[in-house]
């Protein structure tokens, strides 16, 4: 899981650093444009996706993935 976490962190870092490249090659994200404003909405959206990827990578690397995702998705999963 450490290798997978490092890969996810690297992808998130590239997403944050190369935001303009992603914007030019993949275009604007309409949801972020609507919710975060027309000026820089997609740029901020790409950066937020990168931060989420880095956070998930750190959680996976620490070995707390099962506990964290059980806590996060617990209200959505019916108890048996």
58-72, pLDDT tens digit by residue?
Answer: 999 998 888 888 888
Please write the tens of the pLDDT for every residue from 32-50: 888 877 677 888 889 999 9
Instruction: Say how far apart CA 46 and CA 77 lie, in whole Å.
Output: 29
CA 80 to chain centre: 31
pLDDT > 70: percent of the chain? 98
This prediction's pTM: 0.79
Six-digit token string for 33: 């444009």
Six-digit token string for 53: 């990827």
At residue 50, the 3 state secondary structure works out as helix
CA 26 to chain centre: 16
**Quick one: 73 exposed, middle or buried, by C-beta within 10 A (0-12, 13-18, 19+)?**
exposed
């Amino acid at each position: 899981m450490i290798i997978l976490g490092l890969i996810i962190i690297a992808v998130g870092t590239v997403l944050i650093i190369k935001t303009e490249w992603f914007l030019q090659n993949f275009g604007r994200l309409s949801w972020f444009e609507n919710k975060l404003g027309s000026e820089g909405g997609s740029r901020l959206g790409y950066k937020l996706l990168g931060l989420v990827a880095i956070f998930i990578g750190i959680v996976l690397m620490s070995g707390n993935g099962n506990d964290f995702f059980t806590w996060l998705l617990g209200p959505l999963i019916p108890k048996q």
